[in-house]
Amino acid sequence: MSELYSSMLTRPSTSADGPRLRAMAPALGAEITGLELGTSVTPAAITLVLDALHRYGVIVVRDQHLTPAEQLAFMEKLGPVKKSAYSRANAFSVPGQPDMMVISNIVENGRNIGLMDAGAMWHADGTHMAHPDMYTALYALEVPYRDGKALGDTLFTSVAEAFDALPDALRSRIAGRKAVHSFTHHLEKKRRQGDLRRPPLTDAQKAEYPDVEHPIVAVHPVTGRKALFVTEGHTARIVGLSPEESDALLEELWAHIRRPEFIYRHSWKVGDLLIWDNRATQHLAIFDYGDLPRRMHRVETLGPVPV
């Protein structure tokens, strides 16, 4: 971790009798305990959460007891909530909350109650949009267990730390370049890998999600840190390179992003509200639980156009 952000990890953030913040891994990740976001969403609590997000990239607020309305109200304090048109179209929304998506492998009355294949490749949420997601909050209602061990972990990597650690030659090769992000490409790649477990896009949905271009290196809109902004899941190609050159350079960048020293692995507990900064991190879901039931509620906020 860079010296500035390493020093932040050791700085106390709360008083001994209030919410407590604990770093979870060297590059990113922190745990907040002693905070109930359904009943104590004070300005101080919001400041604590945002400061922790910007320092650590991903935080888990433990032992929450949130209704869908409370989770949504909390996220509205972090930014404009994303309108989940894709969730609505596929009936993956929480009843009464059209902008909250169910992430689940549960089948009821012959249909999937939620999105079953979310996170199968390294990605940041919404990079296929002109205004990609800023923050995502995923709330754990059912966590699968086998032999007393929680399954379905989520891995996170710090793309800010990854940029800081780029070799000079690789940094020079990507300077000023842009890449194409594509939802259609994302779903086709999942299909080829045998990971697609959702309905195909309709023509209307394809028109709603046109391909977009974003800089390969983006500046965080709050912290000003630079981060790599190409993902295994949604980045189709690098503008101005041949397909062969583009594929080779993307694979090199993705391998760098996946280096172990940048990663935090989250083991879920019921009541976890996991919040991450999509401009500083990428994530990957681990599908090791088969048909054991898993149910989570997701809300996202929109961010500015990457620059």
- Amino acid letter, residue 179: A
Query: Mapping DSSP to helix (H, G, I), strand (E, B) and coil, where does residue 168 land?
Result: helix
Tokens 């929109």 sit on residue: 302
**Strand 226-228 to 217-219 pairing:** antiparallel
Q: Which of 55, 99, 123, 225 is catalytic?
A: 123
Which one is catalytic: 125, 164, 272, 277?
125
- The catalytic position among 55, 181, 214, 283 is 283
- Known catalytic membership, residue 181: no
220 catalytic per annotation: no
In sequence order, what are the residues at sequence separation of 6 or more whose Cβ sits closer than 8 angstroms to the Cβ of residue 295? 102, 103, 104, 106, 113, 114, 141, 142
Question: What is the longest distance spanned by two Cα atoms in the chain?
Answer: 58
Report d(CA 86, CA 93) in Å as an integer.
9
Among residues 214, 225, 256, 298, the one annotated as catalytic is 298
- Active-site residue 123, yes or no? yes
3-class DSSP state of 249: helix
C-alpha 70: how far from chain center:
20
CA–CA gap between residue 166 and residue 253 (Å, rounded): 9
Q: Is 283 a catalytic residue?
A: yes
Q: Which residues are catalytic?
A: 123, 125, 283, 298
